[in-house]
């Protein structure tokens, strides 16, 4: 990410980095959506069917004070501690890309960083809407506040701004 931000700063005065966090991401991914995405991969049928059985054959019941509830199918979640959990989440997020070409997106498990150069700063809200609409079919929701903003400014830009400000002050002072 550092390299991407530095590259963008070489041609932009500033760069936004939005750190996006989904609420209970691993617990929320719909199995149906995940399996649709898995079906697009080049997997042998046996492997796909094994993965499908792994996700689609789980149910849950609760025992409390000697009473046991009826079984309910589990239709969402990737098991973090399993060998398939993190890889499955990566498959789920693989089709999420920035909407605008000059923007970049970096994903680390369930963390997403949207990197937007000054040139594209007007696309920030559109990108957030895009991420939210991508997340809906998978049952994912951005935490509120929906993101953390980091703002990187090129060192030369700060100096230019400072010099510009000094020039304005000098010009204002000399006209009085």
Residues 26-51 have pLDDT tens digits of 777 888 888 999 999 999 999 999 98
Distance, first Cα to last Cα, the chain: 48
Beta strand residue intervals within the chain, DSSP E: 14-22, 59-60, 63-64, 67-68, 72-73, 104-108, 111-117, 142-153
Q: Which two tokens stand for residue 58?
A: 């789980």
Residues 6 or more apart in contact with residue 73 via CB below 8 angstroms: 58, 59
Q: Which two tokens stand for residue 19?
A: 């750190």
Q: What is the largest CA-CA distance in the chain?
A: 88
Q: Closest Cα partner for 120 from 21, 4, 1, 13?
A: 13
Of residues 154 and 88, more confidently modeled = 88
Looking at every residue in the chain, the average pLDDT score rounds to 81
Q: Which two tokens stand for residue 38?
A: 């898995």
> What secondary structure does DSSP assign to 123-176, as a single string?
GHHHHHHHHHHHHGGGT--EEEEEEEEEEEE-HHHHHHHHHHHHHHHHHHHHH-
User: Distance from CA of residue 10 to its chain's centroid?
Assistant: 25
Place of tokens 């010009």: 171
Q: What residues are paired with 72 via a beta bridge?
A: 60
**Residue 82's pLDDT is what?**
79
Residue 55 pLDDT > 60, yes or no?
yes
pTM for the whole structure: 0.73
**Residue 133's pLDDT is what?**
93
Burial class (CB in 10 A: 0-12, 13-18, 19+), 174: exposed
pLDDT tier at 157, thresholds 50, 70, 90: low
**Residue 151's pLDDT is what?**
77
**Residue 168's pLDDT is what?**
39
| Residues above pLDDT 90, as percent of the chain | 32
**Residue 74's pLDDT is what?**
81
| Range among 85-89, 93-97, 149-153 rated most confident | 93-97
Q: Which tens digit of pLDDT belongs to each residue from 131-151? A: 999 988 888 888 766 567 777
Tell me the C-alpha to C-alpha distance, in Å, between residue 122 and each of 62, 93, 102: 50, 25, 12
């Amino acid at each position: 990410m550092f390299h991407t931000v530095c590259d963008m700063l070489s041609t932009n005065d500033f760069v936004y980095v939005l750190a996006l966090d989904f609420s209970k991401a691993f617990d929320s991914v719909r199995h149906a959506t995940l399996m649709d995405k898995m079906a697009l991969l080049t997997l042998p049928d046996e492997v796909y069917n094994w993965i499908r059985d792994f996700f689609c054959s789980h149910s849950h019941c609760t025992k409390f004070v000697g009473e046991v509830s009826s079984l309910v199918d589990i239709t969402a979640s990737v098991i973090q501690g399993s060998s398939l959990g993190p890889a499955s989440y990566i498959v789920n997020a693989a089709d999420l890309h920035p909407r605008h070409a000059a923007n970049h997106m970096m994903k680390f498990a369930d963390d997403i960083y949207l990197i937007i150069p000054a040139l594209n700063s007007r696309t920030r809200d559109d990108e957030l809407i895009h991420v939210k609409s991508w997340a809906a079919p998978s049952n994912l929701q951005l935490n509120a506040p929906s993101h953390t903003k980091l703002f990187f400014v090129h060192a030369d830009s700060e100096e230019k701004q400072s010099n510009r400000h000094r020039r304005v002050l000098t010009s204002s002072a000399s006209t009085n």
